[in-house]
Amino acid sequence: MAGFVGVLAWVAFRTRAVRQFREFSLAGRRIGLPLVFGSLAAAYVGPGFSVGFVGKGFQSGFLFLGIGLAYALQNILVGMFVAPRLRALDGCHTLGDAIGQKYDRRCQLFAGAISVGICVFLAAVMVYAGSEIVRNTLALPRWSSTVLLVSVAALYTTSGGLRASILTNSFQFVLFSILLPVVLLVVFFQIDGGSATFAREALAVTRAGWENTSALKIAGLLIAFLLGETLIPPYANRALASQSVRVSRGGFILAGLYSVAWFTVMAAIGVAARGRVSPDVDEDHVLLVLVRGAVPPAGYTLMMLALVSVVMSSLDALLNAGAVAFARDLTPESKRGSDRRALHTGRVATIVMALIAAGVSPMVPSIIEGLLICYTIWAAAILPSLLAGLLLDRPRPLAGLLSMTVGTLAALAGVIALFVKASFMQTPIVIVPALAASVAAYVAGHALDRSRKIEAV
């Protein structure tokens, strides 16, 4: 563990402290295809798509693999149609910049606030997952596990900005892409009856998962995974930081294809865990318990490092993206000051966001549930305005503002209602009406704004 932290510190040192906000936010727009692809894949295969998917595979077999394929499709579609348009915009550091260019400053402020909030709460989910892994590995109290995880991520992200995040993500991507599939191989060869037993278990648990999940919930999950992480701030930052439109397109398409293989391996590990892990084990602990019992102590430590790297790669990306959004979107234009001042604001925001995420992390219900809450809010609040702004020739400011306002309120109302009922796994159902309300508000705002222009003429 000390060696792993040392390697991350060395990578951060080698990147050197950035001295310009453009380097902190976009790494000078010099990121090539391998790094865009590797850092994207490392950012999205966080604990939800590793620890969480193994737990879901344990409970419902390959049902969640089919749902995960919606996420893969989203990445490919974004790479083909959306990321190139975003990269082609001039002077953009954030999604808020893009929305501000397409609509107006009010929309940029709203988008910036949503971006910072989503980054903080997604970071809290990462901290929750990472502290569980560190706590199980080193037998530390939760608070000290949280402090260790957050301190290391904040250290190199604050110093090196997006470049440090991307370089460490690429290192972590290589580490967990090798080690976690090894877990599947080790466990698979320990199954009595081999592939025949695995196939029977997979069929039985997938059928049970399908029968126990309503069609409405499956539809909500598909929509959540198709839209919930579409161009969230860390992914948008990688699109904006890429060397060219072609690199931006290729990075997202390759990351989408990679996710198919990743989801397959994670779901298969969950199925292979059946019979080796007690059914009473919490879904977020299935992978930890499985690895502890399946591999020798040295191998267990290596696997835990791989899982920590999964968490760190998502956490640092979220901290950097949220800090850039705060410095760029929420600071008044009259007070942005020099590039040095913007850089200082971004670094302070990184530390503050890390502290808030650490404080909120104990309230996360579970990894997948925490992600679904964020997906619902993001999809309803931002996506209709963002996609319409990038794809339409003349988007209307009133349409964007109404859509973001109505979508945010509808999503928050649904999430609060589920919080009162303590039923967060019903979150996918909320995304459908919240997204519909956001789209309807956009259409209404577009019509009203156009009618005003006609009257003025």
Average pLDDT, the chain: 85
pLDDT, position 451: 54
pLDDT, position 412: 93
Best CA proximity match to 229, nearest among 145, 321, 149, 137: 321
Residue 380 belongs to a domain: no
Give me the phi and psi of 383, to 5 degrees please: -60, -50
Dist CA 346 CA 274 (whole Å)? 46
Q: Choose the most confident range, by mean pLDDT, from 35-39, 224-228, 401-405.
A: 401-405
Residue 455 belongs to a domain: no
Residue type, 173: F
Q: What domain count does the chain have?
A: 1
Residue 456 belongs to a domain: no
Residue 414 belongs to a domain: no
The answer on pLDDT for 77 being more than 80 is yes
pLDDT tens profile 230-258 = 889 989 988 998 999 999 999 999 999 99
CATH number at residue 305: 1.20.1730.10
Helix (H, G, I), strand (E, B) or coil at 94: coil
- Which range (55-69, 134-148, 149-163, 238-252) has the least confidence? 149-163
Q: What is the pLDDT confidence band of residue 8, given thresholds at 50, 70 and 90?
A: low
Q: What is the pLDDT confidence band of residue 43, given thresholds at 50, 70 and 90?
A: confident
pLDDT tens profile 173-186 = 887 788 778 777 78
Residue 410 belongs to a domain: no
- Which range (47-51, 187-191, 220-224) has the least confidence? 187-191
Q: Is 267 in contact with 52 (CB distance < 8 Å)?
A: no
Residue 43 belongs to a domain: yes
The answer on pLDDT for 25 being more than 60 is yes
Rg, C-alpha atoms of the chain: 21
pLDDT, position 12: 60
Residue 400 belongs to a domain: no
- Which range (121-125, 156-160, 313-317, 358-362) has the least confidence? 156-160
pLDDT, position 456: 40
Q: What is the pLDDT confidence band of residue 455, given thresholds at 50, 70 and 90?
A: very low
- Structural domain including 229 reads 2-368
Residue 151 belongs to a domain: yes
